[in-house]
Structure 1
Amino acid sequence: MRKPARAAAVDPRSLPDTARAWCLAASFACQLPLLLQLPGWLGLAVGALAAVVAAIAWKRRLPAPLRAAVALAAVGLVLAGSGFSLGRDTGCALLAAMLAIKPVELFSWRDARSLLGFALFAPFATFLLDQGPLSLLLGLAGALVALAALWRLAELDAAVPTEPLPPVQAVGRRLWLVGRLALVGLPLALAAFWLFPRMSSPMWGVPERAIAKPGLSGEMGPGDWLDLMGDDSPALRARFFGPVPERMQLYWRGPVLTDYDGRRWSRAEWTQGLPPAEVRVGGPVWDYELELEPTDRRFGVTLDLPLAEPDGTRLGHDHSTTSWRPLSSLRRWRLQSAAPAAYETELRPMLRTMALRLPAGFNPRTIALARQWRAEAGHGVAADEAVVQRFNDWVRSDFAYTLATNLPGRHAVDEFLFDEQEGFCEHYAGAFVVFMRAAGIPARVVTGYVGGYYNRFGDYWLVRREDAHAWAEVWYEGRGWVRADPTAAVAPERIYDTIANLSDDGGAGLRGLADMWDVGDWMRRGWNDFVLGFDATRQRQLLQPLGIRDLEMHQLIVLFAALAGLALAWMLWLVARGERERDPVLRAWHALGARYARLGLAPAPHEPARDWSARVLAARPQDTTLATLSARFSDWRYAAHPANPAAARTLILDLHRYRPAETSR
């Protein structure tokens, strides 16, 4: 029996438009999730560059000097966008830019495969910047399109005849087939995710980002917080076990700023090595779980005041939390906090001096007024409280809250208190502490977040980055540090009101929008819990419901090997069971035989096509079309003739279209 003649190979130096279109589509699909993670203008610029390059490359071949100039321009654009700082996001942006201009070299089959191989790096680079569900879905879609493009390139290169289908249906069918192949490997991937032994810390570090994600820092200066307070992305989520504090008690403590140089506040790093100050609990203890979104900084946030440091962090003398490593991935902490009845009642002389220090030559009007109020109030704890109350009354009556402020001059506090009298928490907290220190009252700035939004679907509190806040602490004899928030005196609604308040008063429309937001954020939290939060500790506790408290490393290895072996065996069984004839003409012929099998006239494995059709015609004389199809199939299969893809496609279409009647005449 003679084998069918193989189709002639396509000229390797030429690339058909069909192959070029598949390559460009796959390149864009792989690049899309990465572009969405770049800064807005940079992502748009790289995307526009990709579109222009693809359009030009489709029409003509650019000369080598022009290609080099385009590459240099793309590199310059990315470096300028990142401030010429090297980091993780800069490297990913460079990869996106290089992928955008890669189509200028799309001329041959080798170029096409090179482009697709390079494009597959883009979805993986996306996960260095974001591990959210949208990035995963877009990355998977891009990888599937790239694999489908590689499949189509192989068919075109070998001149394999394909079933004649409309373009949209053909693309959908190809993607479906590639998706089915990917699903075959899903059990093995799940076994690796759940059971492959994880380490509590990575073996290597991921480079820092050149453009850090917004988050709390160890400094506060004029205008520093405007970007942070304009960002409505989540900063943290908290779920309480037992009693829940009132919203006005939700002060999330971050870095404490003590040093002041006349313009900027900063942390006193040397105090972080001291043991935490003594706290006497004065109210209920809040038991809660905190989920922190990535920030690429080391400053943690806890409900004021934490009673112990979370895992992987240290608790400073001022009860601020600092992580040993940058918080560049999702963190989940189980904590306890309580409002203090007394907090550091004995203040060391060095710490007292630091909490009263003011730079010389700054804010003379503020210092003069503070000393005047101190002289009028006298001395003692009651006098200190009177000065604080008088300052809050002044703010409440004469000041206003706004984010639209001017950059201050040398005497920033003087300008704020006596000239502008408008600002936000950064201004109020800083001016308050300067005033109290000038009045002889130890004081410091505390930064963090305040308030929160209750998600009723997930039963947790959501705090956004725009909830960033700065308040103050003053020290009273016998009581220690006490919270004082001058911003709450001028604009309490800015601190405590959320969309929940608005939706209660705004009707069903706003309530519906709030519900949609709640469901979306609840789903994101579920993703964080189910995927991103699955670390080495949770892996060891995976079988707790079955009574196995803590899996050891060797047990995980055995479980993984067993399940991986089962998954591989299942994959091999599926491949053996579902192995199909690669030739589309034979597949169409076998499908026709399967249709006759339902009528009890299946072809025998050893039966030639003409003999089988004769047997069918003896039982069903009306099926004359089958005789014609079997003759055409036999001629195509065994007759000596040059390869004719057009004739093969016509035969495939006729075989698929033919349907025998269910009953004979």
Structure 2
Amino acid sequence: MNGAAALPPLNPAARGWALLTTALALLPLLLQLPTTLAGVFAAMALMVAALSWRRRVPLPLRLLLVATMLVAIYWQMGASPGRDTGCALLAAMLAIKSSELRTLRDARSLLGFALFAPFAAFLLDQGPGTLLLALAAVVCALLGLQRLADAETGTAPRPAAFQLRMVGRLLAVALPLALSAFWLLPRLPTPLWGIPQRAAGQPGLSDTMAPGQWLDLMTDDSPALRVQFAGAAPAPEQRYWRGPVLTRFDGRTWTRLESQRRAAPPPVATAPPQWDYQIEYEPTERRELVALDLPLAAPDETGLDADYTLVSARPLTALTRWHLRSAPPARFQPDLPPALREQALQLPAGFNPRTLALARQWRRDAGTDDAAIVRRALQWIGRDFSYTLSTPLPGRHGADEFLFDWKAGFCEHFSSAFVVLMRGAGIPARVVTGYAGGTRNRYGGYWLVRRMDAHAWAEVWLPQRGWTRVDPTAAVAPERIRDTLEDRLARSGAGGAGLDIGARWLQLAQAGDWLRRNWNGMVLSFDARRQQQLLRPFGIERLEPAQLIGLLATFALIAVAAMAWLLARGERERDPLLRAWHRLDRRYARLGLGRHPHEPAGSWAARVEAARPGSGLVLLSQRFSETRYAGASSDLASLLRDLHRHRPQPGVPTGART
């Protein structure tokens, strides 16, 4: 008989617990992967679990499953390495791991391997939802290990309530050590090594704009940033969050100017009011940031280029917070450098002839009045154009098709065609990307800007004023900027007896985002600076790394000692009969009649009976000894009840009588 055959086989209950633990561990990881890939992995995991329930999956089929998984990962993520690629490989291996599930050793191996998945999910998301799912997987794994131990020894499984209490005790004794490590393990201001970027593209602003590129971004309602204003919030028409400025155009794609990236920002004359605010920026894996138009200065570890685009010194791989001040511009670069003017008028040859012909006609009609041309374009858009996300991809002459054929589109089309039209009329113009609007959270008082609030508008250069913001999309759809879906849902249920489904969903979503923001503030933002100020309420201004290590070692020793004592005590007193006997001893110890460590139960009972006649302890101790040590068959429930009810008799001990 070989070694594998000698191992105990799995019973259905133990197999079920192992598969349930695997599913719970896999869930938080699947939620962070692309939807299609997560669906493939989930379907594969269910199929493998069903096929391997009664017999081992043949090796050729297992190899075919592995190849299918690798093809699916390459299809969704390509060959680029990254955090999400590694997590996808882990999820794929875990999905087909149950094909080898035959013995108790296989089940233990599967449980141990499964616990890598929820913690790998923290590489992609550190939110409270991921933490709760990871804790559920850990609890299920501990319960599964108890089931496997019972199956190996052949004992009947204990009640579920008892098993949950045991798992809760294990987690409770480990919690102090985990909290000590979180608070006191010295944190570095910057990581020793870079965190690998994600292979799959994250929705977010980039330094290019091409036809169809924004569709995924416009349908993504996940948070992009949260903003807390120190005073009054800006009006809706001022809530433009400036990002990359795109000047170069090749007929299809807008890109940034390299010369503007390297140049310093020009002086800007601002107008009141000024806004003081803090931005909490979600990770994007990129460097581009946004700020309320226009930022007055760049925070530490960021920089402003000549277009007043805010750029981080490092990729935004984690949640970051930035304190900023902004004000609307009164005059923005009124003296335009010749090189920049040339770039802001540049148009590729052979593109959009109808748009250029119209622009030349408008120039002849308006003479030197640039502002009149801008007003005429906005009036035309407001009269004849509509807003929609359902547009085909443009051909070679994208501006012509939009302005003369479709007359419908979203901000990507409006801003691009408008800038082409302005340049054709001899007005320097460029595309500005970022976000617009935002929704105020009723619970936290902050503003939430989602990725679907991404927006593109135009800046035209006008004499004496310089760069001036013009939003052609707002001419046709003001609610795109000044109204949101959440506002409408809230208004629709405000006047009735109860809120409708949309308004209730809005309240739930806002409450969830408020909880997520608090989690970000308390947990994800606990950095080296906050750690050094941890004991400031106790008069200690700063904790040096050596002091942190000393505190961590002290708390760790205390936690380990407490864990060892509790576990040893639990092991000693796992027997309910012994626990009841020790409680009885403690009742007499309060009267000075406790049992000595070397004293047998019968001798102790005789001593107590001599001190307090009629206590009844002698008979009770005899029943205890016979049941526990002699294996006498008696009514255990009755004995436990008598031990719990027994109390020392009142009176004066005989040794104290005169």
Q: What's the TM-score, normalizing by structure 1?
A: 0.87
* Offset at residue 626 of structure 1 (A): 8.6
Residue number in structure 2 paired with 1:346: 335
Alignment of 1:104-503 (within 5 A): 104-154=99-149, 156-157=151-152, 159=153, 165-166=158-159, 168-169=160-161, 173-379=162-368, 383-498=369-484, 499-503=486-490
C-alpha distance in structure 2 between counterparts of 1:363 and 1:651, whole Å: 97
Give the match's secondary structure for 2:571.
Answer: coil
Q: Structure 1 residues 433 and 177, CA, compared in 2 at 3 Å: closer, same or farther?
A: same
C-alpha distance in structure 2 between counterparts of 1:286 and 1:450, whole Å: 16
Q: Is 2:583 the partner of 1:588?
A: no
| 505-514 vs 411-420, which moves further | 505-514
Q: Structure 1 residues 218 and 144, CA, compared in 2 at 3 Å: closer, same or farther?
A: same
Q: Structure 1 residues 478 and 327, CA, compared in 2 at 3 Å: closer, same or farther?
A: same
Give the match's secondary structure for 1:210.
Answer: coil
* Offset at residue 621 of structure 1 (A): 8.0
C-alpha distance in structure 1 between counterparts of 2:211 and 2:125, whole Å: 30
Q: Structure 1 residues 560 and 184, CA, compared in 2 at 3 Å: closer, same or farther?
A: farther
C-alpha distance in structure 2 between counterparts of 1:656 and 1:208, whole Å: 62
C-alpha distance in structure 1 between counterparts of 2:239 and 2:283, whole Å: 21
Q: Structure 1 residues 480 and 98, CA, compared in 2 at 3 Å: closer, same or farther?
A: same
Give the match's secondary structure for 1:482.
Answer: strand
* Offset at residue 602 of structure 1 (A): 8.3
Give the match's secondary structure for 1:199.
Answer: coil
Residue number in structure 2 paired with 1:509: 499
1:15–1:107 contact (8 Å) kept in structure 2: yes
Q: Structure 1 residues 603 and 72, CA, compared in 2 at 3 Å: closer, same or farther?
A: farther
C-alpha distance in structure 1 between counterparts of 2:520 and 2:511, whole Å: 14
C-alpha distance in structure 2 between counterparts of 1:603 and 1:386, whole Å: 102
Residue number in structure 2 paired with 1:52: 47
C-alpha distance in structure 2 between counterparts of 1:70 and 1:602, whole Å: 67
1:515 corresponds to which letter in structure 2? Q
Residue by residue over 1:443-481, the C-alpha shift from the partner in whole angstroms, topping out at 9 and shown as x without a partner, is 000000001111132121111111110000000122110
Q: What's the TM-score, normalizing by structure 2?
A: 0.88
* Offset at residue 242 of structure 1 (A): 2.3
2:580–2:644 contact (8 Å) kept in structure 1: no
For residue 561 of structure 2, the aligned residue among 566, 572, 576 is 572
2:25 corresponds to which letter in structure 1? C
Residue by residue over 1:481-538, the C-alpha shift from the partner in whole angstroms, topping out at 9 and shown as x without a partner, is 0000011111001222022354134325155543333222111111111111222233
2:53 corresponds to which letter in structure 1? W
C-alpha distance in structure 2 between counterparts of 1:633 and 1:539, whole Å: 53
* Offset at residue 104 of structure 1 (A): 1.6
Higher relative contact order (CA 8 A, sep 6+): 1
C-alpha distance in structure 2 between counterparts of 1:286 and 1:31, whole Å: 45
2:489–2:506 contact (8 Å) kept in structure 1: no
C-alpha distance in structure 1 between counterparts of 2:640 and 2:69, whole Å: 50
Give the match's secondary structure for 2:331.
Answer: strand
2:595–2:604 contact (8 Å) kept in structure 1: yes
* Offset at residue 202 of structure 1 (A): 1.2
Q: Structure 1 residues 94 and 651, CA, compared in 2 at 3 Å: closer, same or farther?
A: farther
Q: Which runs of 5+ in 2 are unaligned?
A: 650-658
Q: Structure 1 residues 581 and 134, CA, compared in 2 at 3 Å: closer, same or farther?
A: closer
Matched positions, count: 632
* Offset at residue 559 of structure 1 (A): 3.4
Give the match's secondary structure for 1:231.
Answer: coil
Give the match's secondary structure for 1:332.
Answer: strand
1:591 corresponds to which letter in structure 2? R
* Offset at residue 569 of structure 1 (A): 1.6
Residue by residue over 1:557-609, the C-alpha shift from the partner in whole angstroms, topping out at 9 and shown as x without a partner, is 3134225413422441453256236378x612202324655886987755667
Residue by residue over 1:163-212, the C-alpha shift from the partner in whole angstroms, topping out at 9 and shown as x without a partner, is x644x33xxx3343233223223233223222322222211122221212
* Offset at residue 103 of structure 1 (A): 1.5
* Offset at residue 630 of structure 1 (A): 4.8
Give the match's secondary structure for 2:568.
Answer: coil
1:117 corresponds to which letter in structure 2? G
Residue number in structure 1 paired with 2:526: 534
1:404 corresponds to which letter in structure 2? S
Residue by residue over 1:106-165, the C-alpha shift from the partner in whole angstroms, topping out at 9 and shown as x without a partner, is 2334323322221121122101110000101111221233234335545554x2857x64
C-alpha distance in structure 2 between counterparts of 1:182 and 1:534, whole Å: 23
Give the match's secondary structure for 1:509.
Answer: coil
| 182-191 vs 117-126, which moves further | 182-191
* Offset at residue 543 of structure 1 (A): 4.5
Residue by residue over 1:382-407, the C-alpha shift from the partner in whole angstroms, topping out at 9 and shown as x without a partner, is x1000000000000111111111111
Give the match's secondary structure for 2:224.
Answer: strand
* Offset at residue 222 of structure 1 (A): 1.3
Give the match's secondary structure for 1:579.
Answer: helix
2:424 corresponds to which letter in structure 1? A
C-alpha distance in structure 2 between counterparts of 1:222 and 1:33, whole Å: 34
C-alpha distance in structure 1 between counterparts of 2:639 and 2:124, whole Å: 50
| 313-322 vs 620-629, which moves further | 620-629
2:601–2:621 contact (8 Å) kept in structure 1: no
Q: Structure 1 residues 482 and 547, CA, compared in 2 at 3 Å: closer, same or farther?
A: farther
* Offset at residue 420 of structure 1 (A): 0.7
Q: Structure 1 residues 629 and 483, CA, compared in 2 at 3 Å: closer, same or farther?
A: same
1:229–1:465 contact (8 Å) kept in structure 2: yes
Q: For the aligned residues, what is the CA RMSD?
A: 3.2
Residue by residue over 1:532-562, the C-alpha shift from the partner in whole angstroms, topping out at 9 and shown as x without a partner, is 122223333444555655x36xx23313422
* Offset at residue 612 of structure 1 (A): 8.3
1:599–1:662 contact (8 Å) kept in structure 2: no
- The percentage of counterpart residues that share the same residue type is 52
C-alpha distance in structure 2 between counterparts of 1:604 and 1:292, whole Å: 65
2:252 corresponds to which letter in structure 1? R
C-alpha distance in structure 1 between counterparts of 2:619 and 2:51, whole Å: 54
* Offset at residue 655 of structure 1 (A): 7.1
2:236–2:481 contact (8 Å) kept in structure 1: no
| 28-37 vs 570-579, which moves further | 570-579
C-alpha distance in structure 2 between counterparts of 1:443 and 1:307, whole Å: 22
C-alpha distance in structure 2 between counterparts of 1:308 and 1:50, whole Å: 52
Give the match's secondary structure for 2:44.
Answer: helix
Residue number in structure 1 paired with 2:514: 522
Residue number in structure 2 paired with 1:5: none
Q: Which runs of 5+ in 1 are unaligned?
A: 1-9, 638-646
2:432–2:457 contact (8 Å) kept in structure 1: yes
